[in-house]
Amino acid sequence: MSNLKVTRLQVMWNRLLAVVEEQAQTLMRTAFSPIVRECGDISAGIFDLQGRMLAQAVTGTPGHINTMAEAVKTLRGRFSMQEMQPGDIYMTNDPWIASGHLNDFLLMMPAFRDGRVIGFTSCTSHLADLGGQGMGPEGSDIFDEGLLIPPCKLVERGEVNSLLLEIIKANSREPIANEGDIYALITCCEFGARRLVEMMQDFGLSDLDGLAEHIVETSRRGTLAAIADVPAGIYDSKMTVDGYDAEIDLCARLTVKPDGILLDFAGTSGHSSKGINVPLNYSTAYSVFALRCLIGPDIPNNAGSLAPFSVIAPESCILNAQPPAPVAMRHMLGQLTPDLVFGCLCQAMPDMVPAEGASCMYDLPLRSAPEVAQRGGEVFALELAHNGGTGARPESDGLSATAFPSGVWGSQVEITESVAPVLIKQRELRCDSGGAGRQRGGLGQRIEITSANNRDFLVFLSVERIKHPACGRDGGLPGAPGRIHIDKGPDLSGKGEVRVIAGQTMVFETPGGGGFGDPRQRPRHLVDRDLKEGLISAGAADSLHGPAGEGADS
């Protein structure tokens, strides 16, 4: 292939990457729910005729992006391409097809050029409430958790299925927000399809076949070359995590070969009776994301770069939940799989793998108490997302209050208070919460929340790292565990429904990341800086790093 042709293909590839980022920004600008428009809990992408993902927006979460990569193939197989018409859009929130729980809606739209389908656009975002017991771990099966919509046509030739929309609204405590978010998803698909066709017109393309093959094969070959740099072998890892009513063992075996990598979750604990089970599509999304963070991270994420990675698990395993298992809070364990994968990779790539982090976001679904509507009060359902600290890296400190691996930005105080009758009394970093080490773990945060209208509200807790904090690596110490309590009351378990009485204050402290390396090897000027900035206490500075003058000086 001539250099000129390769350059032309690369320019078109870059144009696709720009289009999907515009898609994502369109979705965020038009969405109603704060977790979408403020926190970026989305995905957007462009796919070829085979349903292969060619480009995905940088903005978005691995749980949405990597599940979308497979979901489009499924939807494409469910509906005849010969029957598709311009303006058609298909949709589902089936957890085993879309992104793991009912609150995520996935849309797919065929893009037309000269009267025929040339590819697809797709997007996903989180809706605030789909009825049932909603966002919380208390459901006993998927039917408890809300409204499940099988693959169907949401829009036909530009006309929205009004009956379907009314059903969705009728099954939600936030019908207006849901309607707005669905129209935002529709707009995202339409925008992506229009921009895709404009790109093809600009370059004189009648189809995407040649460009698609270039993208997929270039990415696949690059990823295989990166895998070849990883020492071949079998690497095992195990984590014990809090679970709901019993601790859970997460087990992984990573088999690295020149032609690909296989991850097997055999040995992991079985299904839970509570909504913390994880469909395999979601477990795969985050575990493959972790692999790609260290193996070929400079290669764009698409069907080609994802192809060399395979994930399997027994059907009895909690990371491969089978219908109709409850899965509302699947992110709690799913977002811990990167740390599990890193436990394998640190054996093969010891100088590249960070310590464990808080990992799963502190997702706090809030809801007005049931009796509020009867008394004429404001009915609301809101989901807050906050983050702890990331693990320290071999050459750098961890990041404080940072969303890894989810990428979901923390809920802003002002936005939270503007959309629900709650008051955030305090939000600050937690001193001493980052694990000590040569490189310090990132800090968690402390947040205090109370009612703003003198009425009770409910919180549906399902968070991790309360009993089992993030471990350090290579001699680094663990980060601080998470902690949740009301006023000065006893610590809560981190799972289950909690009523916050009017006038009470709920305090939640997110976990810190683990440290990396011996704390006494930390350069003293960095210890002094941390002390000056209030990241560590004087007692910790001396007890963990040694008195001034004894620590490393460079």
Token duo for residue 280 = 């395999």
In a domain, 206, yes or no: yes
Do 145 and 275 meet the contact criterion of CB atoms below 8 Å apart?
Answer: yes
Residues 6+ apart with CB under 8 A from 184: 26, 27, 30, 31, 32, 36, 125
Asked if residue 79 belongs to a domain, the reply is yes
422 pLDDT above the threshold of 70: yes
- Same domain membership, residue 358 and residue 215: no
Confidence of residue 550 (pLDDT cuts 50, 70, 90): low
* pLDDT value at residue 554: 45
Q: In the chain, helix, strand, coil percent, each to 5? A: 35, 25, 45
In the predicted model, is pLDDT for residue 338 greater than 80?
A: yes
- Grade residue 548 by pLDDT with cuts at 50, 70 and 90: low
pLDDT reading at 551 higher than 70: no
Higher-scoring residue by pLDDT: 135, 405: 405
- Give the number of other Cβ atoms within 10 Å of residue 373's Cβ: 12
Structural Rg of the chain based on CA atoms? 24
Mean pLDDT of 238-258: 96
Separation of first and last alpha carbons in the chain: 51
**Predicted confidence (pLDDT) at residue 143 exceeds the cutoff of 60:** yes
**Percent of the residues in the chain that have a pLDDT greater than 90, as a whole number:** 90
Please answer whether residues 304 and 227 qualify as being in contact, where contact means their C-beta atoms are separated by less than 8 angstroms: no
Q: How confident is the model at residue 163 (pLDDT cuts 50, 70, 90)?
A: very high
Q: pTM here?
A: 0.95
Give the CB-side neighbour count of residue 106, counting CA atoms within 13 A.
Answer: 32
Mean predicted confidence (pLDDT) in 475-485: 97
Instruction: Read off the pLDDT band of 134 (50, 70, 90).
Output: confident
Q: Which of 311, 392, 56, 34 is nearest to 184 (CA)?
A: 34
Residue 270: inside a domain: no
- Would you say residue 433 lies in a domain? yes
Name the E strands within 158-246. 159-160, 233-241
pLDDT in tens, 66-79: 999 999 999 999 99
Residue 264 belongs to a domain:
no
Task: Please compute the mean of the pLDDT values over residues 365-381 and round it to a whole number.
Answer: 81
In angstroms, the CA 90 to CA 151 distance is 7
Do 203 and 55 share a structural domain?
A: yes
Instruction: Give strand pairing partners of 454.
Output: none
Give the Å distances, CA to CA, from 7 to 4, 316, 390, 462, 515.
Answer: 5, 49, 38, 49, 44
Per the structure, the count of domains in the chain is 2
For residue 247, is it within any domain?
Answer: no
Residue 544 belongs to some domain of the structure:
yes
Mean pLDDT of 22-34: 96
Is residue 278 one of the residues assigned to a domain?
A: no
**What separation in angstroms does the CA of 355 have from each of 241, 435, 519?**
16, 9, 14
Give the pLDDT mean for 281-306: 97
What pLDDT sits at residue 374? 67
Decide which of 190, 220, 250 is a domain's last residue: 220
Q: Which residue has the higher pLDDT, 239 or 548?
A: 239
Mean pLDDT (the chain, rounded): 95
In a 3-state reduction of DSSP, which class is residue 236?
strand
Whole-number pLDDT of residue 257 = 97
Range of the domain at 157: 3-220
Select from 220, 240, 255 the last residue of a domain: 220
pLDDT of 373 over the 80 cut: no
Residue 377's pLDDT band (cuts 50, 70, 90): confident
Amino acid sitting at position 310: S
Q: Is the dihedral of CA 118, 124, 130, 134 positive or negative?
A: positive
**For 49-64, how does the pLDDT look when each residue is reduced to its tens digit (9 = 90+)?**
999 999 999 999 999 9
State yes or no: pLDDT of 451 exceeds 60.
Answer: yes
Closest CA to 317 of 355, 362, 271, 252: 271
Q: How far is CA 391 from CA 242, 355, 358, 426, 536, in A?
A: 19, 4, 8, 25, 16
Query: Which residue among 220, 235, 257 closes a domain?
Result: 220
